[in-house]
Amino acid sequence: MDRVLVLLRHGQSEWNLQNLFTGWRDPPLTQRGVDEARAAGAALRKTGIVFQKVFVSELFRAQDTAAKALEVLGQTDLVPEKNIALNERDYGDLAGLNKDEARTKWGAEQVRIWRRSYEIPPPGGESLRDTVARTLPYYVRSILPCVLRGETTLVAAHGNSLRALVMVLDGLTSKTIPSMEIATGIPLVYRLGADSLVVSKEVLTTDLTG
């Protein structure tokens, strides 16, 4: 039995382009982001993957990325399951601020701590640990059972909510996960064993990455 799980960070958003903290705000994809989503679909099509389940966050940029990728795959009949547990990390008071302006206001070191520490949240927001605490139970309860039943599953979400899943799948720690980056529009293809552990992981290349 194939037990395939694909993680896909949304394509570039308008606020990614403008170097703004986004979090739970909901800017649309840029044209580059749309192209990344379609390129992800094309890369997945080359592997022969056919999805039975799709999970997305409640934010449009993740939903639109999944939709564009599925269009290329010819699977527009799939209805994604939406859940707030897959939302991006909430950046609280930083949301909407330019990252360089935030460094000027609070200092580069403080902003680095808010962005990269595991446990320390920005003002009014979530730490990565907080994001793991809401994302991982949803994965165990709703996503993993589908994969273990042999239902090839796509999760289209965000840098930090996906890092929460990668932390578990790749066996990373609170020390190593903060420096782990997930690129926009690049599918991560996991194959799991019956025990839910990772058998293999492949980072696909797309026409935009070479």
Query: DSSP string spanning 2-14?
Result: --EEEEEEPPPBH
Amino acid type, 173: T
Domain boundaries, the chain: 4-203
Q: What is the pLDDT of residues 77-97, one digit of tens each?
A: 999 999 999 999 999 999 999
Based on the residue annotation, tell me whether 10 is a catalytic residue of this protein.
yes
The CATH T-level fold of domain 4-203 is: Rossmann fold (3.40.50)
Average pLDDT estimate for 62-85: 97
Residue 151 is a catalytic residue: no
Q: What is the pLDDT of residue 209?
A: 79
Label residue 143 by pLDDT band (50, 70, 90).
very high
Point out the catalytic residue in the list 14, 36, 58, 88.
88
The pTM of this model reads 0.96
Pick the catalytic residue from 10, 36, 126, 158: 10
What span, in angstroms and rounded, lies between the C-alpha atoms of 182 and 163?
A: 7
Helices (H), 4-59: 14-17, 31-47
Separation of alpha carbons 158 and 152, rounded Å: 20
